[in-house]
Amino acid sequence: MIIGIIGAMEEEVAVLKEEMDVQEVVKAASMDFCKGVLCGRDVVVVRSGVGKVNAAICAQLLVDRFGVEILINTGIAGSLDAQIDIGDIVISTDSLHHDMDATLFGDPLGQVPRMDTLAFPADQRLVELAVLANQEANPDIHTFTGRVVSGDQFISSAEVKDRLVKQFHAKCTEMEGAGIAHAAYLNKISYVIIRAISDKADNSATMDYPVFERQAIAHSVRLVKNLLPRI
């Protein structure tokens, strides 16, 4: 079994690449796919680039070129829940596109037209394993599970944040997860999104993000390394 690990930015996957036994680097779609062994598991680690299109292209290449059976998306996100503090971890139960809008045709906000689901469910076993892994790897922070919403925009407005909370009842927002979840759903493979909170997705986001980005990434990396041997 091969596990694909996707981070949007190089900072989110750099440590994983450094610590893995890299056997091959394959270049495709302007991405470097590092194939090898990490924590005793066969993995392909890759930086997708920012945004849902980059993430979905990356996920499909992992399926087509490397035959991955599990996709893990690791990185950072903005909190949509007052209980979730900067540094805490959110593990997806499902994911959807918050910026998909075909409401003019009668679809609910977030619904991809003519798809048989609004949200893309994560693998329940992976969710449970990730919760246990984070509790062990990062005992000083809190672990949350819930919906992750994605859009091609950095959320830094309290007004937009409130709308996302009311509309989707999500735990956090970011810019890649739903693209990966969408690809996993169409390919009928398992996925989970692991997000460390770097900001509050409100008017303070532009100040919080640069300060807490590194801390949040460290939490998600420790979680992934603890999760892999459990899979």
State yes or no: is 199 an active-site residue: yes
Check if the beta carbon of residue 69 is closer than 8 Å to that of residue 184: no
State yes or no: is 11 an active-site residue: no
Check if the beta carbon of residue 75 is closer than 8 Å to that of residue 66: no
Marked catalytic residue, from 12, 81, 176, 213: 12
Task: Quote the CA–CA distance of 39 and 121 in Å, as a whole number.
Answer: 26
Look at the block and give the residue holding tokens 């062990």: 136
Q: Number of C-alpha atoms within 13 angstroms, CB side, residue 124?
A: 0
Query: Which distant-in-sequence residues (6+ apart) come within 8 Å of 70 by Cβ?
Result: 1, 2, 3, 4, 123, 126, 189, 190, 191, 231
Marked catalytic residue, from 199, 202, 208, 213: 199
Active-site residues, by number, are 12, 199
